[in-house]
Homo-oligomer: A and B are copies of this chain.
Amino acid sequence: MLGVVLRAARATRAASTKFPALDTFVRRHIGPGEKDVAEMLKVVGASSLTQLGDMIVPASIRKDTLSARAGKGEFELLQELKGIADQNKIARSLLGMGYADTITPTVILRNVVENPAWYTPYTPYQAEIAQGRLESLVNFQTMVTDLTGMDISNASLLDESTAAAEAMSMCFDNHEGTFFIDSNVHPQTIAVCKTRAEFLGIPIKVGNWQEVKGEEALCGVLVQYPNTLGAIEDYRALSAKVHQAQGLVVAATDLLALTKLTPPGEWGADVCVGTSQRFGVPLGYGGPHAAFLATRDQYKRKMPGRIIGISKDSRGERCYRIALQTREQHIRREKATSNICTAQALLANVSAMYAVYHGPAGLTEIATRVHDLAATFASGVKNAGFGVPAAASFFDTVTVDSTSPQKQEAVLAALAANNINVRVLSPTRVCVAFDEKSTGAEVDTLFKCFGVAGGSDSFASVNTAYPAGVGRTSAFLTHAVFNTFHSETEMLRYIFYLASKDYGLQQGMIPLGSCTMKLNATTEMIPITWPGFNNLHPFAPISQAQGYQYLFKDLSEKLAEATGFHSVSLQPNSGAQGEYTGLAVIKKYLASIGQGHRNLCLIPASAHGTNPASAAVLGMQIVVVKSQSNGNIDFEDLVAKCETHKDNLAAIMITYPSTHGVFEDNVKDVVDTVHKYGGQVYMDGANLNAQLGLTSPGDIGADVCHLNLHKTFCIPHGGGGPGMGPIGVASHLAPFLPSHPVVASNTNPSAMLPVSAAPWGSASILPISWVYLHLMGSRGLVTATQMALLNANYMRKRLEGHYKVLFSGANGMCAHEFILDMRPITDATGIGAEDVAKRLQDYGFHAPTMSFPVPNTLMIEPTESEPKSELDRMVDALISIRHEISLIEQGKMDKVNNPLKNAPHTQDMVISSKWDKPYSVETAAFPTPRSRKYKVWPTVGRIDNAYGDRNLTCACPPLEVYF
């Protein structure tokens, strides 16, 4: 059947040539081969892939949604994309504003960014097989706390601006007082805070920080350090005043500058936010980059985002895992103050590795040189009659008073001729920001443009120190990890050492339900490290970004078609961020039609935690819609609640197919009902992988939908990010899509303020999805969807007799994922989902999603990319585990001291003369012949989560010996 499809896919091309490319991708992307598909169809009882789709997707919404478009060969497509990348003109952007060019050490570029062992894993929920990247994230946290002078940091947020908005929410925790924002905070950050504040009803004031008296009702103050114009201000007195008013001081700050400047923690800041982009992460036209949020110990429970902490395992050994999860959206749901889920783990790791590679001395050297170059520039232009501040009052950014518009225009013309972008503040003022790529030669060029007589060496201000009170005196990054791996050999080995502890898609399947861990193909990944996509500043003139603009337009069109919508916004840089944006757009729309009072959001009980959290972060009232026992939305309850809240109903958020893995038959009725009551329909697109080409959110009648490009559209999960969460909207919502204060990403006057720091979110990973769409062609995409359904139903069928499978759609089939219910087993044996998950590690597998959406269940999503052989191995492992459980049931194995409860088993547990378990070491370690042949070992035993939360440590131990 697949063969038919593949042949058909080629036939579409034969129209244009008798010699189609052979390096077609569909067969590379899809796991099962032709024969496998035939066998599997038999098992699930369908006669063809097409029929299978028709059996599963309700007829009421089944529609061929994609227009015919042939897939391209991998080689020709990369050539085409190279041409697009070449349309981007790479200038030197000395624009600052939170983005600084940087040199990614090649050993990190190649062995982290370009290594599937680092980019394919999921968020480290299975911590025993994720100790490598967890250690690296602790390095990240340590780097942030040390440089900022804070006590605790999270393991990344989406961008500096959203981090500032999150900090604002922390400040507003007690729901009173104005949040004051210094006007010299980066403009995009001010704008994102305004977006967030508006919906939450946080009173905001933007002004000069010196206006703050400490007598007004303040929840907090946000300052930038150094500020957006480059100035290093002394905020000590401000902090005292804010604290007096019971407010918190938030410092948006710059990690590189902090190697030279008094850290905010030492002058009174309570929360620090910023981006670690300039620590080795390319500009990427805006992202992805890892932002951070760090705070004092006393506020740790208010922190958003994942925090990695240290705990102990079943052997009493130190280990890492996600800490304090009770703060997070998936636990707090409608009580959440943040909706962050996917963050920027991979980029956090890159920047942590950058710090490991350079160490404190190396970072200081880089910072010193940047400051020296800025100071040299300042003294030169001063000599030529421009106005500049004193070297001790800036770090890397120099505000230049050009004294006259004519003079400035001549300078700007010369800069343009030299391919240099600077920030223009006014007709007589510019800002010039230096970075790691700046050189003496660059200053020489600038001098020519500014009419300075003499070269950089003649004005060299080398080792210009900061005066007491301004300069940093405290040590930082004294831990062994930042002072050991400074030769490339050692760095390389550290990177591989950590990777050796982790499980990724390069080793086996990651059947995480709802996460869609499909192939992240190399051809999709290759372009993202091309300079043509990597070296653009997000605020570079649009004329320099024509390649990107073309790609955005084309991608948006394809995504609009795929979702059945009118318009797409590429700004939201995660799924949760997409939810937030979609709901915000709904609210803007409702306001525009005089329905601004509507503020209630219906959410099914089974919704992902980000759904209620996003609604909560928009200040919406949340009402939960019940599920029926078969898992579907309780339609009566829905109607009743619509009726009850008809005056206030703003929206419903539905996931389709549902998080129960089912295409609910009556989805159109749900949509129609909500519409009838004046609400809008938000569709969570996390499960689009089951819909694409067979139906679409737009066709179902939704008004808006986000797409997790890191699920259906192949952006790798990076161990917890990056992701992209663009939204598609119906035409009535399009005018409200977000714009941006620096680069107008939506020119409609009704556009809402931005939700992200960058106009097009994490632009540089969009080529991944673009390549996927073009390699697959429309037929390929449909086949992928059908295969996702087939793989899931095949596994389900094979497991049915062994486990209780929860929920079914028509014909007793699931969509692209299904749920195994562990509750009856727990009742009988005490064995629960976690035990099975950990035991799967002994079998050499990554566990399915645990206890979402139903407690004590396992949700399996194989995706279309897994071959039949891997599905069978996983099924065999689960059946074998079920057999182990039956030994407990039959009393043949102890209820406590058994391979499931003791799982996972580490090498040193089973390689021990003291082995004293009532089962053999072979049972523990090699439960199948395959695990004997090829197994990814857990490097720690089962982790004690409670211990870690009781004894919270989230930074590297001060001294440690590696390897």
Dominant SS among interface residues on chain A: helix
Chain B residues whose CB sits within 8 angstroms of the CB of A930 once the complex forms: 963
**A4-23 vs B, Cβ < 8 Å mask (1 yes, 0 no):** 00000000000001110111
Distance from A517 Cβ to chain B, minimum over Cβ atoms (Å): 10
**How many residues on A have C-beta within 8 angstroms of the other chain's C-beta atoms?**
87
Chain B residues whose CB sits within 8 angstroms of the CB of A550 once the complex forms: none
Residue A366 CB within 8 A of the other chain: yes
**A903-933 vs B, Cβ < 8 Å mask (1 yes, 0 no):** 0000110111100000011100110001011
Residue A526 CB within 8 A of the other chain: yes
**A24-44 vs B, Cβ < 8 Å mask (1 yes, 0 no):** 000111110100000000000
Distance from A909 Cβ to chain B, minimum over Cβ atoms (Å): 10
Are the CB atoms of A911 and B925 closer together than 8 Å?
A: yes
Chain B residues whose CB sits within 8 angstroms of the CB of A366 once the complex forms: 22
**A462-502 vs B, Cβ < 8 Å mask (1 yes, 0 no):** 10000000000000000000001011111011011100100
Q: Quickly give the copy total for this chain.
A: 2
Are the CB atoms of B487 and A106 closer together than 8 Å?
A: no
Are the CB atoms of A439 and B493 closer together than 8 Å?
A: no
Chain B residues whose CB sits within 8 angstroms of the CB of A443 once the complex forms: 19
Are the CB atoms of A106 and B372 closer together than 8 Å?
A: no
Chain B residues whose CB sits within 8 angstroms of the CB of A912 once the complex forms: 921-922
Chain B residues whose CB sits within 8 angstroms of the CB of A493 once the complex forms: 506-508
Report, nearest first, the 9 A-B pairs whose CB atoms are least far apart: A106-B522, A19-B440, A17-B440, A18-B460, A496-B506, A28-B488, A107-B522, A106-B523, A913-B920
Distance from A341 Cβ to chain B, minimum over Cβ atoms (Å): 25
Distance from A927 Cβ to chain B, minimum over Cβ atoms (Å): 12
CA A19 – CA B373 in complex, angstroms?
8
Q: Which residue of B110, B116, B457, B496 contacts A507 across the interface (Cβ within 8 Å)?
A: B496
Are the CB atoms of B21 and A439 closer together than 8 Å?
A: yes
Are the CB atoms of B500 and A19 closer together than 8 Å?
A: no
Give the residue name and chain of the B residue nearest to A73 (CB). B103
CA A637 – CA B552 in complex, angstroms?
78
Residue A91 CB within 8 A of the other chain: no
Are the CB atoms of A911 and B913 closer together than 8 Å?
A: no
Chain B residues whose CB sits within 8 angstroms of the CB of A76 once the complex forms: 439
Most chain-B Cβ atoms within 10 A of its Cβ — which of A18, A114, A366, A496?
A18
CA A495 – CA B115 in complex, angstroms?
13
Give the residue name and chain of the B residue nearest to A33 (CB). B486
CA A926 – CA B921 in complex, angstroms?
16
Residue A934 CB within 8 A of the other chain: yes
Distance from A298 Cβ to chain B, minimum over Cβ atoms (Å): 36
Q: Which residue of B490, B507, B526, B926 contacts A31 across the interface (Cβ within 8 Å)?
A: B490
CA A278 – CA B267 in complex, angstroms?
64
Are the CB atoms of A31 and B487 closer together than 8 Å?
A: yes
CA A439 – CA B907 in complex, angstroms?
53
Chain B residues whose CB sits within 8 angstroms of the CB of A526 once the complex forms: 106, 110
Residue A92 CB within 8 A of the other chain: no
Distance from A904 Cβ to chain B, minimum over Cβ atoms (Å): 14
Are the CB atoms of A489 and B911 closer together than 8 Å?
A: no
CA A867 – CA B107 in complex, angstroms?
17
**A67-78 vs B, Cβ < 8 Å mask (1 yes, 0 no):** 000000011101
Supposing A114-B114, A440-B18 touch, asked if A963 and B933 sit within 8 A by C-beta, the answer is yes
